Chains A and B, each alone.
Chain A
């Protein structure tokens, strides 16, 4: 059974870069799309974008200028970098697996990131 596990610093300073990794176990990262979703405290879900195992990406226009995804097929993991963070970037960050025409069927447990000096 596939499992996703997000990891990264829980605290990031304003204006710095937020870096997270999602480790995939129980299945290959190949042949799937991998999305990042975030949820500010007490608020709803926001889709950040996806990366395909080949490295092709699709970012939400609202974050496109600050976000970069990468994939490591050998390590079976993928990563997110978000630059110039502010307090508005605080929240729980989830990774999820899907195919091109499918919803987000498998989710990680999420990791809380706080942006604060």
Chain B
């Protein structure tokens, strides 16, 4: 299985800060990486796919980059509504695997 390693596991930042989350794959997955946002008690929602393509309706402050084994999710200006846990997922091969998540808290 492809192991997905996310860092940090938690982060605390202020409104307006630029926030970056990293995801590393144990083997190359080309650009087949997705980012999801999950709020407590809710299902995850797709933010970004193909490493850098913004899902329809997702605010432009979210962006993704990377290829191969190293990927990042960036929130350019953190908003109160962004308090959530973020997961990366590879969909290059089966079984599809997720990172352990990054919990983003607002200071």
Q: Do A and B bind each other?
A: yes
Tell me the nearest residue of chain A to B94, going by C-beta: A58
Would you give the 0/1 interface string for A84-117, flagging 1 where the beta carbon is closer than 8 Å to chain B? 0000000000100000011111011110000000
Instruction: State whether B91 touches A107 (Cβ < 8 A).
Output: no
Question: Which of B43, B89, B91, B94 counts the most chain A CB atoms within 10 A?
Answer: B43
Would you give the 0/1 interface string for B1-24, flagging 1 where the beta carbon is closer than 8 Å to chain A? 100000000000000000000000
Instruction: State whether B98 touches A107 (Cβ < 8 A).
Output: no
Instruction: State whether B43 touches A108 (Cβ < 8 A).
Output: yes
Interface residues of B in 25-82 (CB under 8 A from A): 32, 34, 36, 38, 42-46, 49, 55
Instruction: State whether B43 touches A44 (Cβ < 8 A).
Output: no
Instruction: State whether B95 touches A47 (Cβ < 8 A).
Output: yes
Q: Total interface residues on B, using CB and 8 Å?
A: 23
Instruction: State whether A109 touches B43 (Cβ < 8 A).
Output: yes
- Where chain B touches its partner, the secondary structure class is loop
Instruction: State whether B43 touches A94 (Cβ < 8 A).
Output: yes
- Contacts A44-B100, A45-B98 hold; do A103 and B87 have CB atoms under 8 A apart? no
Instruction: State whether B95 touches A60 (Cβ < 8 A).
Output: yes
Q: How far is the CA of A60 from the CA of B98 in the complex (A)?
A: 13
CB contacts (< 8 Å) of A47 on chain B: these are 89, 95-98
A26 close to B (CB within 8 Å): no
Question: Which of A45, A46, A94 counts the most chain B CB atoms within 10 A?
Answer: A45
Instruction: State whether A61 touches B95 (Cβ < 8 A).
Output: yes
CB contacts (< 8 Å) of B100 on chain A: these are 44
Binding site for B on A (CB under 8 A): 35, 44-47, 49, 58, 60-62, 94, 101-105, 107-110
